[in-house]
Protein backbone atom coordinates (compact mmCIF):
# COMPACT_ATOMS: atom_id res chain seq x y z
CA UNK A 1 0.00 0.00 0.00
CA UNK A 2 2.97 2.31 0.57
CA UNK A 3 3.88 2.16 -3.14
CA UNK A 4 0.39 3.27 -4.14
CA UNK A 5 0.52 6.23 -1.76
CA UNK A 6 3.96 7.19 -3.06
CA UNK A 7 2.71 7.00 -6.64
CA UNK A 8 -0.29 9.21 -5.89
CA UNK A 9 1.94 11.69 -4.09
CA UNK A 10 4.37 11.78 -7.03
CA UNK A 11 1.46 12.25 -9.47
CA UNK A 12 0.22 15.16 -7.33
CA UNK A 13 3.64 16.81 -7.49
CA UNK A 14 3.70 16.38 -11.27
CA UNK A 15 0.24 17.89 -11.75
CA UNK A 16 1.10 20.76 -9.38
CA UNK A 17 4.31 21.47 -11.31
CA UNK A 18 2.48 21.39 -14.64
CA UNK A 19 -0.19 23.85 -13.55
CA UNK A 20 2.43 26.09 -11.91
CA UNK A 21 4.31 26.34 -15.21
CA UNK A 22 1.09 27.01 -17.15
CA UNK A 23 0.09 29.80 -14.76
CA UNK A 24 3.61 31.24 -14.96
CA UNK A 25 3.46 31.28 -18.78
CA UNK A 26 0.04 32.96 -18.61
CA UNK A 27 1.36 35.81 -16.46
CA UNK A 28 4.54 36.16 -18.54
CA UNK A 29 2.40 36.54 -21.68
CA UNK A 30 0.16 39.10 -19.95
CA UNK A 31 3.22 41.13 -18.87
CA UNK A 32 4.75 40.97 -22.35
CA UNK A 33 1.46 42.15 -23.88
CA UNK A 34 1.52 45.20 -21.59
CA UNK A 35 5.21 45.91 -22.27
CA UNK A 36 4.90 45.44 -26.06
CA UNK A 37 1.35 46.42 -27.07
CA UNK A 38 0.01 45.49 -30.51
CA UNK A 39 0.52 48.21 -33.11
CA UNK A 40 -1.35 48.10 -36.38
CA UNK A 41 0.82 48.75 -39.45
CA UNK A 42 -2.06 50.26 -41.40
CA UNK A 43 -1.64 53.93 -42.26
At residue 27's C-alpha, the angle toward residues 26 and 33, to 5°, is 95
Predicted model pTM? 0.70
pLDDT digits (tens, 9 = 90+) for 2-32: 999 999 999 999 999 999 999 999 999 999 9
The pLDDT of residue 17:
98
Sorted by where each begins, the domain ranges of the chain are 1-37
Amino acid sequence: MNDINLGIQLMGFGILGTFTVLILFYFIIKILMKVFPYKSDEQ
